Amino acid sequence: MKTKLNLNVRLIKAIIAVSILLTLMLLLTNATMAQSHIKNVVIVHGAFADGSGWRGVYNILSKKGYHVTVVQNPLTGLKDDVSATNRILDKQDGPTILVGHSWGGVVITEAGMHPKVAGLVYVAAYQPDKGENTAKWASELPNAPEFGILPPDKDGFVYYGKEKFRAGFAADLSKDETDFLFASQQPIFAESFVSAITTAAWRDKPSYGIVATEDKSINPETERHMYKRSNTKITEIKGSHLVFASQPAAVAKVIVAASKQQ
């Protein structure tokens, strides 16, 4: 009887020891995960703009300890923009969240295959698959009446028209802000829109997508179609096509979630 009692006591002690060990291992794992949040963020702007509009998001993320780099991609073609993005990715010191807005979504779909990219964030962005181009998705549904992208000029570049710039591009920003944005807009080479991508990084890496519900430049339903097809984690934010400028806190929140691989 005494022998059985001793065995039971030893068994109970062993179970307690194992339980404590497992608990410690779990706590250690959680602590390691908490310390391993991705801290590098690279942002790729879209057409008719440059990286300066991302200042609000940059400020929020920087204050949270993120290392943020904004690519000034030239908008002269898919290959050029991907190359500009890869040059910045090469300089990152570890895993990176790659963010793209509008046309920038096409760029990050291709550039996202870079080995340092750990996740993708699409902000009111195109998200094509291998062999697809921007034009395919841009023509999927009718444009909004406020849509103001003009035909290519004599040099093959596309601009956003002045009359519809604010209503179609950034209706939730002030007139002063949109006047400056129009004055500083960067046109995109028209052939960019018919350039097919050769690979789709979202097939291999976690993806997060923001639908700008008041978007008049890309139909929000088109954004939903692309994101649902790719099993992208979707967040809907009430905002214009430049939702990152009008709702920087909401956009930054999605980027933070992506950095934690939630």
Q: What is the CATH number of the domain that holds 147?
A: 3.40.50.1820
Same-domain status, 15 and 105: no
Same-domain status, 23 and 43: no
Summarised one tens digit per residue, pLDDT across range 207-255 is 999 999 999 999 999 999 999 999 999 999 999 999 999 999 999 999 9
Same-domain status, 144 and 51: yes
> For residue 114, what are the domain limits?
38-259
User: Given phi > 0 = left and psi -120 to 50 = alpha, else beta, which region is 77?
Assistant: left
**154 vs 8, which has greater pLDDT?**
154
Cα end-to-end span (Å), the chain: 53
- The dihedral built from the CA positions of residue 56, 168, 148 and 130, taken in this order, carries a sign that is positive
**36 vs 81, which has greater pLDDT?**
81
In terms of Cα–Cα distance, which of 81, 83, 159 is closest to 126? 81
Predicted pLDDT at 28: 42
Same-domain status, 23 and 79: no
Same-domain status, 83 and 133: yes
Same-domain status, 120 and 2: no
Q: pLDDT-based confidence at 72, cuts 50/70/90?
A: very high
By CB atoms closer than 10 A (0-12, 13-18, 19+), residue 8 is exposed
Summarised one tens digit per residue, pLDDT across range 115-168 is 999 999 999 999 999 999 999 999 999 999 999 999 999 999 999 999 999 999
Same-domain status, 21 and 108: no
Count of domains forming the chain: 2
Contact present, 230 and 207 (Cβ < 8 Å): yes
Same-domain status, 13 and 65: no
The sheet with strand 233-237 has its strands ordered as 67-71, 40-44, 96-101, 117-123, 207-212, 233-237
Summarised one tens digit per residue, pLDDT across range 169-195 is 999 999 999 999 999 999 999 999 999
Same-domain status, 98 and 79: yes
CA angle 237, 179, 57 (to 5 degrees): 40
Same-domain status, 59 and 130: yes
Same-domain status, 76 and 13: no
Contact present, 148 and 164 (Cβ < 8 Å): yes
Same-domain status, 166 and 47: yes
User: What whole-number distance in Å separates Cα of residue 137 and Cα of residue 143?
Assistant: 11
Predicted pLDDT at 261: 79
User: What whole-number distance in Å separates Cα of residue 7 and Cα of residue 1?
Assistant: 10
- The arithmetic mean of pLDDT across residues 5-20, rounded, is 56
**21 vs 94, which has greater pLDDT?**
94
Summarised one tens digit per residue, pLDDT across range 20-66 is 554 444 444 343 333 468 999 999 999 999 999 999 999 999 999 99
By CB atoms closer than 10 A (0-12, 13-18, 19+), residue 44 is buried
Predicted pLDDT at 22: 46
